[in-house]
Structure 1
Amino acid sequence: MKDYEIYSLGDVELQSGQKLPQAFLAYKTYGALNSTKSNVIVYPTWFAGQHTDNEWLIGPGKALDSDKYFIIVPNMLGNGLSSSPSNTPAPFDRGNFPLVTIYDNVRLQHRLITEKFGITKVALVVGWSLGALQTFQWGSSYPEMVERIAPFGGTAKTRPHAQLVFEALIAALQADSSWKEGFYSHQPTRGLAAMGRAYAPWGFSQSYYLEQLYQEEGYSTLKAYLEDYWDQVFLSFDANDLIAVLRTGISGDISANPLDKGNFEQALNRIAAQALVMPGSTDLFFPPEDNAYEVKHMPNAIFQPIESKWGHCFGIGQNEQDSLVIDNHLKQFLLLTNG
């Protein structure tokens, strides 16, 4: 049984000018909307993530307290639950699925919360990785609506190095002879496994591997970790879906819109919300210095690096110590900015 709901958006014109017919967002809510509709938190998903992957940060007693807040988790376009290559009818299915940007995702999420729920104020937008990029976009696109943002493990613009890594992940998958330009008869499993191998050294830090921290996850050797985890991790996903979301990440830039026209500093400066920006100290995708630059151009931002040896993956809830640190920083941020 599905544990999420669907919001139909009709035929949508994307930022690229292409149309996505009968588009829809899959989403899940936690908690109850109060009478003044002032307790709303939006928590977007990330590459290869679905709403259930965000649940580690949600619950009674946590910063995202479902007894206090109404938390909406919209699934990214392309993630297999919202409109994606794997669930869109021809001729926009599979390898023909159009480019969807971060701007597109946030614009349609805005429609969801305003049209479906009649919400006019958002207490907090929070997200990790590509969810962080969406968080920045929310703050820049809707400064009058968003009161706080807390992006962690992600930047407001995908820098060239991260773009190259994302391109390498796509190339690893497409090298499988079963790929067939996205019109495969069965999932290109060798390519999916190769994507996992290509992701492994970037998802975690040098210290993570040097100190064999994967042993805390139950893998006795590096060989076992690669074969039993990374060779399997993407096999449950549709190959076209993964590529669609990676392309969203490659094009990620909150200033790539009709108003800012590529003026990145202008887009950052428009984020009026109180902001808590939390990079991982050893993140190889989105290093702290990128966030430090962004914070300098945001009027109400706090720069709070998270010390972790878990690289980019400090923010996925697998490491309890990092999870507690993130949760505590969010609690303090909400407490500080509520006064």
Structure 2
Amino acid sequence: MSDYNIFSLGDIVLQSGMRVPDARLAYKTYGTLNAAKDNVIVYPTWYSGQHYENEWLIGEDKALDPTRYFIIVPNMFCNGLSSSPSNTPAPYGKARFPNVTAYDNVRMQWRLVTELFGIQKIALVTGWSMGALQTFHWGAMYPEMVERILPFQGSSKCSRHNFVFLEGVKAALTVDAAFSDGWYDAQPDKGLRAAARVYAGWGLSQTFYREKLDLEKLGYSSLEDFLVGFWEGWLLSKDANNLLGMLWTWQYGDISNNEMYQGDFVKALSSIRAKAIVMPCKTDLYFPPEDSEFEVRHMPNAELRVVDSIWGHFAGGPGTSPVDIGVLDKALRELLER
């Protein structure tokens, strides 16, 4: 029994001009839509994550309280539940699955929200990492609809430095002979393990490792145990083509790369009318606060709050740092009360 639903999109045409036949958008809802349809929160997934991996921020004791709000968690394309290389039949499956942009993702999420539920206003969009990328897109693509956004540890446009980091992950995945240019029958385990070790040097800060929080806070017995158990264990549970599909979405994430803004990044940022709190982490090696400072400077109703944490990209992330999650939850409560 699955704990999610499927919204059938029919045949869709992506920004690239390529088609996804019989496309599907997997989603899960928490709580009840009220009669006014004004208690809606959209909470997109992150790189490799699925809806249940967003649940660390949802609960009756949290800002994302399902007794008050109707929370929609749409699964990103290529995450294995929505249309992905791993679940799309030939000739569009595996290595032939087309490139999907964040714009494509949010456009289809908008269809889910409006066509299935008849929702016209969204109280809040929030998300971590690639979820933040989609959050920014919601604000820029549907400024009249979205009242508040809180993107955390993410950006509205992939930086050149971030792009280069992801090239390392891609190279590690694809260099494994078992990858077979994406036409593998069994997962390329060596490539997945190598990609995990590339990730390990970026996902958490230098100070995190210096202070041995992998041992002191996460309970691993050694650095090697952490690299195997935490990082390799994460990527070995994923499909390589799916990971590469989401990686492409991440690398080419840009809220201005569409017909609305024609590549004018500042114009796209300036068009976000939502009340916003943008929350980078001081030690995030993917999304440094400097990038967020630029974004907030050009957003008319935005506030920058830098999270003072040594957990790097995982500050506020999926259940790893309770103190940082508390800081994030407090900001979400405050924003929802505005």
Q: Structure 1 length as normaliser, TM-score?
A: 0.98
Corresponding residue number in structure 2 for 1:289: 290
**Cα distance in 1, alignment partners of residues 254 and 271 from structure 2:** 14
Q: Map 1:134-213 to 2 at 5 A.
A: 134-213=134-213
Corresponding residue number in structure 1 for 2:128: 128
Q: Deviations over 1:36-80 (max 9, x none)?
A: 000000000010111011101011121111100000000000000
Secondary structure, counterpart of 1:22 in structure 2: strand
Task: For residue 166 of structure 1, report the CA deviation from its aligned partner.
Answer: 1.0
Q: Deviations over 1:236-264 (max 9, x none)?
A: 11110000000000000000001211100
Corresponding residue number in structure 2 for 1:6: 6
Corresponding residue number in structure 1 for 2:238: 237
**Cα distance in 1, alignment partners of residues 141 and 203 from structure 2:** 29
8 Å Cα contact 2:123/2:336 also seen in 1: no
Secondary structure, counterpart of 1:331 in structure 2: helix
| Percent identical | 56
Q: Deviations over 1:192-239 (max 9, x none)?
A: 111110100100000000110101111122122112222222111111
Partner residue of 1:329 out of 296, 318, 331: 331
Q: Map 1:46-61 to 2 at 5 A.
A: 46-61=46-61
Corresponding residue number in structure 1 for 2:275: 274
In the alignment, residue 89 of structure 2 is paired with which amino acid? P
Q: Deviations over 1:4-43 (max 9, x none)?
A: 0000000000001111111110000000000000000000
8 Å Cα contact 1:102/1:137 also seen in 2: yes
In the alignment, residue 118 of structure 2 is paired with which amino acid? G
**Cα distance in 2, alignment partners of residues 319 and 24 from structure 1:** 33
In the alignment, residue 306 of structure 2 is paired with which amino acid? P
Secondary structure, counterpart of 1:20 in structure 2: strand
**Cα distance in 2, alignment partners of residues 109 and 285 from structure 1:** 25
Corresponding residue number in structure 2 for 1:319: 321
**Cα distance in 1, alignment partners of residues 319 and 227 from structure 2:** 20
**Cα distance in 2, alignment partners of residues 110 and 231 from structure 1:** 34
Secondary structure, counterpart of 1:108 in structure 2: helix
Secondary structure, counterpart of 1:234 in structure 2: helix
CA RMSD of aligned residues (A): 0.7
Stretches of structure 1 that go unaligned for 5 or more consecutive residues are: none
Corresponding residue number in structure 1 for 2:108: 108
**Cα distance in 2, alignment partners of residues 334 and 116 from structure 1:** 24
In the alignment, residue 326 of structure 1 is paired with which amino acid? L
8 Å Cα contact 1:39/1:123 also seen in 2: yes
Corresponding residue number in structure 2 for 1:248: 249
**Cα distance in 2, alignment partners of residues 257 and 227 from structure 1:** 40
Secondary structure, counterpart of 2:25 in structure 1: strand
Q: Deviations over 1:87-138 (max 9, x none)?
A: 0111110001100000000000000000000000000000010000100000
**Cα distance in 2, alignment partners of residues 329 and 297 from structure 1:** 21
Task: For residue 333 of structure 1, report the CA deviation from its aligned partner.
Answer: 1.8
Q: Structure 2 length as normaliser, TM-score?
A: 0.98
**Cα distance in 2, alignment partners of residues 330 and 158 from structure 1:** 24
**Cα distance in 1, alignment partners of residues 113 and 334 from structure 2:** 26
**Cα distance in 2, alignment partners of residues 301 and 270 from structure 1:** 12
In the alignment, residue 303 of structure 2 is paired with which amino acid? I
**Cα distance in 1, alignment partners of residues 144 and 231 from structure 2:** 42
**Cα distance in 1, alignment partners of residues 185 and 144 from structure 2:** 47
Structure 1 stretch 30-39 or stretch 164-173: which is displaced more?
164-173
8 Å Cα contact 1:47/1:245 also seen in 2: yes
Secondary structure, counterpart of 1:95 in structure 2: helix
In the alignment, residue 311 of structure 2 is paired with which amino acid? W
Secondary structure, counterpart of 2:82 in structure 1: coil
1:310 and 2:311 are equivalent in the alignment: yes
8 Å Cα contact 2:148/2:335 also seen in 1: no
In the alignment, residue 194 of structure 1 is paired with which amino acid? A
Secondary structure, counterpart of 2:125 in structure 1: strand
8 Å Cα contact 1:128/1:151 also seen in 2: yes
**Cα distance in 2, alignment partners of residues 223 and 20 from structure 1:** 41
8 Å Cα contact 1:193/1:233 also seen in 2: no
**Cα distance in 2, alignment partners of residues 108 and 34 from structure 1:** 23
**Cα distance in 2, alignment partners of residues 259 and 143 from structure 1:** 12
